[in-house]
């Protein structure tokens, strides 16, 4: 018998390997397009000034979600959320660029980065630009150069301690034959236009060279609280050209999947981390900051379908795990919105906390009609001092127009009022830009009270960690000291802002 087993064992091992190989080949690849700083300004979402044929194709051949919203409208908390399928406020990653100093953030027990779950299930995990031998359309960066050399991963930006080994590579080309892959294609999106008027004009020139024309600033339609100033118009036009470059990048990756014969074996999700970077967009909980595109194409995904139920950006995680046949952790807060037994959400939530040196705390809850926002620092202005945003030409222009008394009453009220209401309530489906606050309207008192209570419940149920300690703030600020200076010598802008935050905190503001 031992002799027989000795001869049979190698054959049985080989058979098991073959079966495992076939099982792996039958599992779909998972590919995420993750774009920086971009709202749903795509033609499939109704944008008229530009065309986005490649994302439109994904929508036409898959399912497009009209009402997807990020849980946190700034990069690192958002990415910490979708890479775990958890609310950043629950796992303690909700303060932008935290854990960079002496004090560290570690994930709670039972929470793991999703690439680790894919890796444990036999997937090849990678994060990069999805292109071989080329960088991002519209911009060449050091990260792109490193990827071409094969030694650089794409953008991660997580607010917790994690092991780089959860990623096998920056590209799926290194996988074993038949091995499925989990790939994140990271793209600059709205960041391609830069933060200055000069960089916006430079991108316009590249758009002319690449596409034959740039978006005409004169045709741009701005939200009603932004003045039609040349700097803002050029910036928004360059932003739309950045969307075009993003769409071209998507097309290039799709073409590669087709050349390799694996497009139809790949679940593709296209989305963005949050909305456009602007004075009332990125970092804030209005539609301009939280509404994101969300398109899914792949095996088993309904084709040509448009869904209008509310979903959260973090839902891309359980969608992907389920498609790969990987069990969704029981404690994961995100939902598989493609599951047959999925029940549409009645509410979706979002949070804004410290961004760089600027201390903030805002929470929101949204239904299919109303958006409720709670400001925990109403005695501070909407545009608190922030070195990152104040370094942008658009914000500098807005501040200059404000100081010169050249802004209209709506812009003054929404952007430069020295204080804010404690609560805001908008009928967002009819008030596209959230300009009419209904919180004090007696006719909407019941809706206000209902959403206020639902917000309190969510904060309790999800164990919202709220403000960070002074010790954590000081630790996180160490990496900012000495950066983002004015011309000349002396205190940096960031250091000045840190002092302002501490002074306000001391006063209880």
Nearest residue to 311 (alpha-carbon basis) of 87, 84, 71 = 71
Q: Which one-letter DSSP state was computed for residue 497?
A: H
Residue 4 within any structural domain of the chain: no
d(CA 80, CA 196): 28
Q: What is the DSSP string of 282-329?
A: TTSSSHHHHEE-EEEESTTPPTTEEEEEEEEGGGHHHHHHHHTTPPPP
99: left (phi over 0), alpha (psi -120 to 50) or beta: left
CA distance between the termini of the chain: 81
Residue 471 within any structural domain of the chain: yes
pLDDT in tens, 187-229: 999 999 999 999 999 999 999 999 999 999 999 999 999 999 9
3-state secondary structure of 355: strand
Contact between 86 and 333 (Cβ < 8 Å):
yes
Q: For residue 381, what are the domain limits? A: 9-507
Evaluated on CA atoms 13, 15, 16, 17, the torsion sign reads: positive
pLDDT of residue 10: 39
pLDDT of residue 2: 42
Residue 473 within any structural domain of the chain: yes
Nearest residue to 357 (alpha-carbon basis) of 501, 172, 507 = 501
Nearest residue to 37 (alpha-carbon basis) of 191, 214, 215, 156 = 191
pLDDT of residue 491: 79
Contact between 491 and 122 (Cβ < 8 Å):
no
Count up the domains in the chain and report the number: 1
Contact between 287 and 250 (Cβ < 8 Å):
no
d(CA 124, CA 354): 35
Confidence of residue 271 (pLDDT cuts 50, 70, 90): very high
pLDDT of residue 152: 82
| Residue 134 pLDDT exceeds 90 | no
d(CA 419, CA 408): 18
pLDDT of residue 479: 86
**Residue indicated by tokens 């919105």:** 337
pLDDT of residue 480: 85
List of residues 6+ apart from 136 with CB closer than 8 A:
129, 144, 187, 188, 192, 245, 249
Evaluated on CA atoms 15, 328, 38, 264, the torsion sign reads: positive
d(CA 382, CA 333): 30
Looking up residue 352, the CATH number of its domain turns out to be 3.40.720.10
The average pLDDT across 256-282 equals 98
The average pLDDT across 444-448 equals 98
Q: What is the DSSP string of 16-57?
A: HHHHHHHHHHHSPEEEEEEESS--S-SGGGT--SS--HHHHH
Of residues 137 and 445, more confidently modeled: 445
Contact between 339 and 323 (Cβ < 8 Å):
no
pLDDT of residue 150: 44
| Residue 132 pLDDT exceeds 90 | no
d(CA 40, CA 319): 20
Contact between 166 and 113 (Cβ < 8 Å):
yes
Nearest residue to 83 (alpha-carbon basis) of 153, 177, 23 = 153
Residue 284 within any structural domain of the chain: yes
Residue 2 within any structural domain of the chain: no
Nearest residue to 71 (alpha-carbon basis) of 268, 277, 292 = 292
Contact between 437 and 426 (Cβ < 8 Å):
yes
Residue 1 within any structural domain of the chain: no
Question: Which alpha helices (DSSP H) does 404-444 contain, by range?
Answer: 409-416
Q: Which one-letter DSSP state was computed for residue 240?
A: H
> Strand locations in 377-503, DSSP E?
423-427
**DSSP H/E element including 67:** strand 63-69
| C-alpha distances out from residue 361 to 8, 108, 376, 449, Å | 65, 22, 6, 20
d(CA 425, CA 421): 10
| Residue 9 pLDDT exceeds 60 | no
**Residue indicated by tokens 């539609």:** 287
102: left (phi over 0), alpha (psi -120 to 50) or beta: alpha
Lowest-confidence pick of 133-142, 314-323, 423-432, 485-494: 133-142
Confidence of residue 486 (pLDDT cuts 50, 70, 90): low
* Chain centroid offset of residue 356 CA: 16
| Residue 8 pLDDT exceeds 50 | no
What is the overall mean pLDDT for the chain? 92
Contact between 91 and 80 (Cβ < 8 Å):
yes
pLDDT of residue 481: 83
pLDDT of residue 13: 34
Residue 112 within any structural domain of the chain: yes
d(CA 139, CA 241): 12
Confidence of residue 154 (pLDDT cuts 50, 70, 90): very high
């Amino acid at each position: 018998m031992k002799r027989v087993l000795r001869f049979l064992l190698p054959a049985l091992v080989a058979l098991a390997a073959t079966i495992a190989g076939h099982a792996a080949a039958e599992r779909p690849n998972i590919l995420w397009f993750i774009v920086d700083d971009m709202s749903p300004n795509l033609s499939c979402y109704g944008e008229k000034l530009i065309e986005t044929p490649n994302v439109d194709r994904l929508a036409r051949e898959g399912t497009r979600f009209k009402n997807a919203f990020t849980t946190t409208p700034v990069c690192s908390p958002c990415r910490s959320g979708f890479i775990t399928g958890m609310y950043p406020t629950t796992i303690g990653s909700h303060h932008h660029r935290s854990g960079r100093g002496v004090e560290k953030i570690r994930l709670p027990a039972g929470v793991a980065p999703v690439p680790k779950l894919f890796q444990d299930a036999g997937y090849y995990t990678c994060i990069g630009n999805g292109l071989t031998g080329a960088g991002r359309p519209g911009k060449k960066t050091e990260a792109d150069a490193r990827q071409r050399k094969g030694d650089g991963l794409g953008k991660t930006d997580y607010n917790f301690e994690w092991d780089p080994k959860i990623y096998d590579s920056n590209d799926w080309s290194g996988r074993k034959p038949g091995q499925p892959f989990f790939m994140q294609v990271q793209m600059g999106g709205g960041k391609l236009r830069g933060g200055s008027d000069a960089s916006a004009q430079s991108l316009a020139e590249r758009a002319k060279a690449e596409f034959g024309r740039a978006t005409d600033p004169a045709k741009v339609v701005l939200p009603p609280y932004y003045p039609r100033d040349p700097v803002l118009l050029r910036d928004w036009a360059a932003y739309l050209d950045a969307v075009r470059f993003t769409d071209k990048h998507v097309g290039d990756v799709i073409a590669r999947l087709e050349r390799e014969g694996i497009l139809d074996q790949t679940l593709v999700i296209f989305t963005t981390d949050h909305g456009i970077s602007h004075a009332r967009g990125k970092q804030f909980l209005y539609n301009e900051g939280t509404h994101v595109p969300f398109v899914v194409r792949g095996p088993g995904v309904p084709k040509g379908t448009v869904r209008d139920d509310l979903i959260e950006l973090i839902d891309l995680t359980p969608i992907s795990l389920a498609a790969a046949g990987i069990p969704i952790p029981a404690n994961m807060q995100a939902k598989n919105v493609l599951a047959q037994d999925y029940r549409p959400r009645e509410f979706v939530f979002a949070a804004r906390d410290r961004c760089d040196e600027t201390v903030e705390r805002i929470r929101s809850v949204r239904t299919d009609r109303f958006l409720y926002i709670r400001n925990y620092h109403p005695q501070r202005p909407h545009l608190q001092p922030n070195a990152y945003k104040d370094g942008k030409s658009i914000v500098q222009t807005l501040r200059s127009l404000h100081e010169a008394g050249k802004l209209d009453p709506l812009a003054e009220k929404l952007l430069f009022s020295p204080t804010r209401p404690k609560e805001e309530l908008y009928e967002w489906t009819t008030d596209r830009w959230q300009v009419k606050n209904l919180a004090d309207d007696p006719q909407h008192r019941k809706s206000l009270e209902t959403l206020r209570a639902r917000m309190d419940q969510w904060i309790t149920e999800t164990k919202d960690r709220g403000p960070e300690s002074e010790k954590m703030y000081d630790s996180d600020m160490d990496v900012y000291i000495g950066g983002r200076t004015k011309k000349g010598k002396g205190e940096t802008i960031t250091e000045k802002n840190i002092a302002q935050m501490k002074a306000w905190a001391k006063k209880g503001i």
